[in-house]
Amino acid sequence: MSVPREEEKITFPIPLVSEVAMCNYCILLNRLPGINGINILIWRRRKTNTCILQKNEAMTYPFKINSLEQYHVDYKKSVEQPEEFWGDVASGFYWRKKWDKVLNWNFTEPKIEWFKNGKLNITENCIDRHLETMADKPAIIWEPNNPEERTRIVTYARLHKRVCQFAQVLINNGVKKGDRVCIYMGMVPELAYAVLGCARIGAIHSVIFGGFSAQSIADRLYDAQAEFIVTCDGAYRGGKDIPLKSIIDDALIGNRTIKKVIVYTRTRTPVSMIKGRDVWWEDEMEHALEQVEKEGKTSFPAEEMDAEDPLFILYTSGSTGKPKGVVHTIGGYMVWTGYTFVN
């Protein structure tokens, strides 16, 4: 097994910390359109789960509400002219083909469609369109649980490279558009690579909370009809070492649908690897790099998706009954998260 590569550390001026946002696995899908300046995400994993968005004062956001008066105007338009309102917001994103109609809804069936027949890939909005002007600027700053472990800084160029690599890893392991991939990892940048890699090829991802039991994981794997898993050997939560791979092994007892388990080395906890099913992240990424990098340039074509194609499945906790999988589609989720993250 090869040793995991550390991300290169770069030096840059730290801008003013001015906004705080919720820490969420999908926050990296919220790369905002038209940003001028540095846009940084920090994952803090010490005593609180907090993401701090750092920006300079010159940074501007499209559709940002700057006053109470503007809020009332925008809210009124969103209620009275929802198609025009959300169409304007959506125009700030990159679409391969513009939608035919912003919104179709029928609460009787029920059936709701956003941006019908629009074509896109969300990772091109997250990463690719920022490469020309922000390639060497930080996309992620990852701060570890242990203060003695070094911070990792991932630029947009590095993020693009890693996502392309992992997209190729998925293809190499038989994942294709529409397949379901469950992700059971700790809070590490590789989690973002996995999420975005799935979106790059059109696979549907479902992130499972790292504190769930083997049975809870098994239930979600079955309900999602998952065939692939991405996990770590272990993860750190506070001062504890959580044996993620061992929990996955317990969850897969009797399972006949999972084809591959990709394991990232995080804690170096001893794990069992089943030949033909389990593969190491590091080995797969090394092989994929040879496929996606030519003459120093990294490329992996993003799959064209329909706005109404599923992006991910997020399960409820199940504390009040059977867990329910909430399916988010690509176009509506991208526009909604972009707008609400700004405001």
Q: Residues 151-201: pLDDT tens digits?
A: 999 999 999 999 999 999 999 999 999 999 999 999 999 999 999 999 999
From the list 156, 195, 161, 196, the residue with the least C-alpha distance to 38 is 156
**Whole-Å CA distances, 188 to 7, 59, 95, 248, 264:** 12, 27, 30, 18, 10
Distance CA 238, CA 144 (A): 10
Assign residue 147 a region: left if phi > 0, alpha if psi is -120 to 50, beta otherwise? Answer: alpha
Q: What is the pLDDT along the chain (343 residues), one digit of tens a residue?
A: 444 444 443 333 322 222 222 233 234 434 433 333 334 444 444 443 344 444 434 346 778 899 999 999 999 999 999 999 999 999 999 999 999 999 998 888 889 999 999 999 999 999 999 999 999 999 999 998 888 899 999 999 999 999 999 999 999 999 999 999 999 999 999 999 999 999 999 999 999 988 889 999 999 999 999 999 999 999 998 878 999 999 999 999 999 999 999 999 999 999 999 999 999 999 999 999 999 999 889 999 999 999 999 999 999 888 888 889 999 999 999 999 999 988 8
Tokens read off for 60: 């501007």
The DSSP symbol for 30 reads: G
Residue linked to tokens 């994942």:
175
Of 91, 95, 52, nearest in space to 330 by CA: 95
Question: Could you give the CA distance from residue 48 to residue 21 in angstroms, rounded to a whole number?
Answer: 12
∠ CA 110-207-205, nearest 5°, is: 65
- Give the three-class secondary structure for 52: strand
Q: Where are the alpha helices (DSSP H) in the chain?
A: 68-80, 82-90, 122-126, 131-134, 156-172, 189-201, 214-224, 244-251, 281-292, 330-342
Instruction: Please choose, from the candidates 86, 224, 65, 235, the residue with its C-alpha nearest in 3D space to the C-alpha of residue 146.
Output: 235
Question: Residue 249, Cβ neighbours under 10 Å: how many?
Answer: 18
* Among candidate residues 279, 327, 9, 29, the one with its CA nearest the CA of residue 163: 29
Which pLDDT tens digit goes with each residue over 83-130? 999 999 999 999 999 999 999 988 888 899 999 999 999 999 999 999
Burial readout 40-77 (b: 16 or more C-beta within 10 A, e: otherwise): bbbbbbeeeeebbbbbeeebebbbebeeeeeeeebeee
